Each structure stands twice: as structure tokens, then as C-alpha cells.
């Protein structure tokens, strides 16, 4: 549901790769009497995906307009029947056909105006890479007990310096033990073997 900007920001208690997982966690919190206003689902890495469902032509536009026209005809028929309760069934059917015709006409006109810019049908959805469940500080302790786990910070990766680095590879000496080719102190340079084939003795 779309709404206004929340006044308070909660603290993360769980992280889920899917929205369904976050929904289940929220359901558990609400079932345990955690105030609903204290809970939020925060999506990170939002992206929009538009899935093309088919090609749009005059036939498809007319078919879509007819479906919408049925709803329009039902609305007109209901108004007509309420206004004249003794009307014959033929008038009711006639109003239905008028609604279908109006819906098809509007859909065809709209497609004729927009077909050069859009000649396909699609469905657009917004998804996120991960979803966080956050709870305000006044309910954070109970919420963590209910969800069953707390958020543990991820340790930085350890760089293996047991093998010499490849050409162009950047190594941080502080990330692991010193390996071959890495200076042991800032002022010390790695020793290099003396070149062969040079002899200063006469």
C-alpha cells in the first residue's frame, strides 16, 4: 500500500530475499501483539520490470474495449432499471449492447492515437533485491524474540596472500598475513634476486 512518509525509523530485526518472507515475519509480529504502527518493510535495490504480454492491434483493442464495455453496460443497465422498474428485459439487453459498443469505440480510438508509440501490452511491477523488517525501539526486544534471530554484521572477506598476486591485482596488506612480495614494513622494499650473467671479476 502506498502512503505517506513515516515519522519514525525503526531498527532492522531481519533480512529476507523475498517479499513473501518479510510478510510472514510481519504476520508473526502482529499475531504476538506487536503494534502494527511500529513495523515496516523496507525494500533495497528497487527496480522496475515491465513484462510484455502480447502484441496490441485493432482486434486486441476491440476485445479489451468490449470487456470494459460490458462493465459500462452493466452500470448503465443498473441505473436504467432503478429508474424504471417496469422496463422490459429487451431494454436491459439493449443498454448492455450500447455499453459494449461505447467501450469498443473508445478503445479503438485510443489505440489509433497511440499505436505509433506503443503497439504492445505489458504488465509493470516493482521488486527489490532484499527486504528488511524494521521495528521501532519501543518494541525491538520483543520483536527479536518473536522472529527468533537477530541481525549479525557480515565480516569482511579475508584475502589469501599465500600466493603471489597476479599482474594488475591490488592487495591490501592489512587484510591478511604477509605473503611473498609484500613488504613487512612501510619503509622496507622487497628484495629482488641479483641478475644473472653479470660478473665484475676480471
Extract the C-alpha cell encoding 160.
Answer: 589469501
Which residues make up the CATH 3.30.70 domain(s) of the chain?
Answer: 11-46+128-147
Reported as a single tens digit per residue, the pLDDT across 79-94 is 777 767 676 677 777 7
Which CATH architecture group holds 11-46+128-147?
Answer: 2-Layer Sandwich (3.30)
Global pTM value = 0.47
Q: How far is CA 15 from CA 21, 120, 129, 185, in A?
A: 9, 37, 11, 41
Range of weakest confidence among 62-66, 90-94, 133-137: 90-94
Nearest Cα to Cα of residue 159 among 148, 137, 144, 174: 174
User: If we measure between CA atoms, which residue out of 138, 152, 114 comes closest to residue 10?
Assistant: 138
7 neighbors 38 (Cβ within 8 angstroms): no
Do residues 38 and 135 make contact, with C-beta atoms less than 8 angstroms apart?
yes
Amino acid at each position: 500500500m502506498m502512503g505517506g512518509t513515516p515519522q519514525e525509523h525503526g531498527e532492522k530485526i531481519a533480512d529476507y530475499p523475498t517479499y513473501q518472507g518479510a510478510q510472514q515475519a510481519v504476520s508473526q509480529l502482529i499475531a504476538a501483539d506487536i503494534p502494527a504502527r511500529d513495523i515496516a518493510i523496507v525494500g533495497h535495490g528497487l527496480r522496475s520490470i515491465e513484462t510484455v504480454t502480447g502484441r496490441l492491434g485493432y482486434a486486441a483493442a476491440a476485445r479489451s474495449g468490449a470487456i470494459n464495455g460490458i462493465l459500462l453496460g452493466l452500470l448503465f443497465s443498473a441505473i436504467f432499471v432503478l429508474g424504471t422498474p417496469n422496463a422490459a428485459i429487451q431494454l436491459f439487453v439493449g443498454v448492455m449492447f450500447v455499453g459494449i459498443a461505447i467501450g469498443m469505440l473508445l478503445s479503438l480510438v485510443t489505440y489509433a492515437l497511440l499505436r505509433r508509440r506503443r503497439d504492445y501490452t505489458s504488465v509493470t511491477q516493482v521488486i527489490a533485491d532484499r527486504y528488511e523488517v524494521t521495528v521501532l525501539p519501543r518494541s525491538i526486544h520483543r520483536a527479536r524474540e518473536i522472529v527468533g534471530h537477530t541481525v549479525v554484521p557480515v565480516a569482511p572477506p579475508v584475502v589469501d596472500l599465500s600466493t603471489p598476486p597476479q599482474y594488475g591485482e591490488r592487495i591490501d596488506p592489512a587484510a591478511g598475513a604477509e605473503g611473498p612480495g609484500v613488504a613487512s614494513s612501510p619503509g622496507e622494499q622487497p628484495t629482488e634476486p641479483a641478475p644473472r650473467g653479470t660478473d665484475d671479476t676480471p
